[in-house]
Amino acid sequence: MNPMKLIDGKEIAAQIKQELADKVTQWKAEGRKVPHLAAVLVGNDPASETYVASKVKACQQVGFKSTELRYPAEITEEQLLAVVEKLNADKDVDGYIVQLPLPAHISEQKILLAVDPAKDVDGFHPCNVGKMVTGLPAYVPATPAGIVELLKRYEIPTRGKHCVVIGRSNIVGTPVSVLMSRKDKYADCTVTLCHSRTQNIKEITLQADILIVALGKPHFVTADMVKEGAVVIDVGIHRVPSDQTKSGFRLIGDVDFEQVAPKCSYITPVPGGVGPMTIVSLLQNTLKACEGK
């Protein structure tokens, strides 16, 4: 058996950022518009703060214009809808995201439906989801797009392989199950979608050539659930207390990395696997949104 290889999301993300930066430099030289990504942040959820800060930083690194719009948690649904309308109408903004979760008094569905599908670089609008399912050009949600990009850049064969996805969220599990079943060189699998209520889940995961885990439960996947030589993609990210680090915590995934890694042909670490890819996929969508202008 081949030794286990680590899928380095940081390295691949850095390559893509360089490609995007080169493109922006070329566009500037041609006098073309620079891509502009806006982010709407409501309240001060720590995870959301971190995400938005890293998106703004990534925009700076590749030469994109970025705008951060912050609002207090008390903002009304009506006021937030007005912000969305304003962004829809702003010709300079190519794409924008409304960072989730939103406060309980605001309907996430109502806000997401109000986003112009042509600026929906998160790929959450039903219009983009429908296009993705039918194989039309669309903005694909960032994390699933990043996962497919990793498989592609590592040239991991998918044709005819059995891919098992654990988790059925609209952000990762469901869209990635659709993408992995596409007739595409790097996503051409037979797909099984499992979730928290799946019975005999271990029997199913043991059949997986490619296992994508996005359940949101720390160390849910253990070594006895993975077959020898499988490719494991871990989307989960959790903070757990640790006396080994200066910060007092460390990050772990949905997969028990130490136990599972020796059985794999390829595996993504947490952090540094899927995470960095999510942000570059968002930048790739924003470039796509600007391309037609």
pLDDT at residue number 2: 63
Quick one: 181 and 221 in the same domain? yes
The dihedrals phi and psi of 19, each to the nearest 5 degrees, come to -60, -40
pLDDT at residue number 264: 97
169 annotated ligand binder:
yes
Domain count, the chain: 2
Q: Which amino acid is at 83?
A: V
Which helix (H) or strand (E) segment holds residue 3: the answer is none
Last residue of a domain, one of 101, 116, 131: 116
168 annotated ligand binder:
yes
Q: Locate 198 and state its tokens.
A: 């799946």
CB 55 within 8 A of CB 37: yes
Quick one: 179 and 95 in the same domain? no
pLDDT at residue number 259: 97
Question: Within a domain: residue 5?
Answer: no
Quick one: 72 and 160 in the same domain? no
The string of DSSP codes covering 197-227 is T-TTHHHHHTT-SEEEE-S--TT-B-GGGS-
Question: Within a domain: residue 126?
Answer: no
Q: Taking the CA atoms of the chain, what radius of gyration do you get in angstroms?
A: 19
Question: Within a domain: residue 63?
Answer: yes
pLDDT at residue number 109: 96
Record the pTM.
0.93
Q: What is the CATH number of the domain that holds 239?
A: 3.40.50.720
pLDDT at residue number 184: 85
Last residue of a domain, one of 98, 116, 134: 116
With bands split at pLDDT 50, 70 and 90, how would you rate the model's confidence at 239?
Answer: confident
Quick one: 150 and 104 in the same domain? no
Question: Within a domain: residue 49?
Answer: yes
Q: Which domain holds residue 235?
A: 142-275
Phi-psi region of 260 (alpha: psi -120 to 50; beta: other; left: phi over 0): alpha
Q: What residues are annotated to the active site?
A: 55, 99, 122
Q: What is the CATH number of the domain that holds 96?
A: 3.40.50.10860
Quick one: 65 and 148 in the same domain? no
- The answer to whether residue 1 scores a pLDDT higher than 80 is no
Quick one: 46 and 156 in the same domain? no
